[in-house]
Amino acid sequence: MRIVLCDDQVGHLKRMRSLTDEYFTIRQLPEGVEVKEFPSSQELLGEIGNGMPFDIAILDVCMPETSGLEIARKIRIANEKCQIIFISSSREYAVDAFTLNAVHYLVKPYSQDEFRVAMDRAIGQMERSEGHRIVIHLPSGAVTSVDVSQIQYIESIGYKRFVHALDGVFEETKTTLSKFFDILENLSPGLFIQPYRGYIVNLDAIRTVNPDKIIMSDGFEIIIKRGDFRKIRDVYFSWAFGKKGGDL
């Protein structure tokens, strides 16, 4: 995880660094956090221009030469997923800050607890935006991974499992269908269902639920039992309207 701090006032920059270090010590979050300080907006712009990747940017709004808002606009062009926290002595820039999808806006002087809340929001948003991946053991002995959100459905034919994803079909040689479902449910609760023996289906990839079959977005049809139709339909509608459906 890479974090950048930018404030043209040295005292404020040092406090930002101190609170950032303390935050990661208290929260005991993953190791490997890299924090870089910039006392000049121009220096940070140079790093952005060189393609420096970072996950969280904590920016003072009012700086000479280039404002924190303008820096944020540059960041958004280079990295849409970067979490931005603005710091200012005034609330007058808050509306502009949130149009840039800022995760938080701190007003000086801010407290230690307020800083922690801002960081919690940034970390939480990062975790929600990160894709989950599962490992696929290929027949050749090689191993690959697939983003869970890209999986449309998994079918079991004989002793083989075929993972149908947006970027291709992958044959799995080791993981059983029931184990696959457990893994997917753990990573993305409620997103997948088992509508019929031998299948796992991504609710987001369903086009239509008919009384006798499910039609996937790619046109593939999966037969279902008529007695299960209402249950599958209700789970699908609940998910489609923003509520996670229960287990089948």
What is the per-residue pLDDT across 202-219, written as a single tens digit (0 to 9) for each? 998 999 999 999 999 889
Task: Give the residue from 33, 35, 108 showing the smallest Cα distance to 68.
Answer: 108
27 vs 39: CA distance, rounded Å: 26
Task: Report the pLDDT value the prediction gives residue 247, as an integer from 0 to 100.
Answer: 41
Q: Would you say 145 and 167 are in contact if contact means Cβ atoms under 8 Å apart?
A: no
**pLDDT surpassing 80 at residue 10:** yes
Using the predicted structure, report yes or no on whether residue 150 has a pLDDT greater than 90. Answer: no
**CA-based nearest residue to 151, from 136, 141, 140, 173:** 136
The Cα 81–Cα 52 span in angstroms is 14
CA distance 239 to 206: 11
Percent of the chain with pLDDT over 70: 92
The CATH fold of domain 2-129 = Rossmann fold (3.40.50)
Residues 43/74, Cβ–Cβ less than 8 Å:
no
How large is the C-alpha radius of gyration of the chain? 24
First to last CA, the chain: 38
Q: Looking at domain 133-240, which CATH architecture does it have?
A: Beta Barrel (2.40)
The stretch 142-170 carries a mean pLDDT of 90
Give yes or no for a contact between 8 and 60, defined as CB atoms under 8 angstroms apart.
yes
Per-residue model confidence (pLDDT) at position 179: 92
Residues 6+ apart with CB under 8 A from 67: 41, 61
Residues 75-102 pLDDT 10s: 888 777 789 999 999 888 888 888 888 8
Sequence ranges of the chain with CATH classification 2.40.50.1020: 133-240
**Do the beta carbons of residue 235 and residue 180 sit within 8 Å?**
no
Query: What is the reported pLDDT for 30?
Result: 52
Of 77-86, 130-139, 166-175, which range is least confident?
130-139
pLDDT digits (tens, 9 = 90+) for 12-71: 999 999 999 999 888 765 556 889 999 999 999 888 877 777 889 999 999 988 899 999
Task: Give the percent of the chain with pLDDT over 90.
Answer: 50
Mean pLDDT of 133-143: 83
CB 188 within 8 A of CB 148: yes
Q: Reply yes or no on whether the pLDDT at 188 is more than 60.
A: yes
Instruction: Supply the pLDDT for residue 127.
Output: 66
Question: What integer best gives the mean pLDDT of the chain?
Answer: 87
CA 70 distance to own-chain centroid: 25
pLDDT at 241: 67
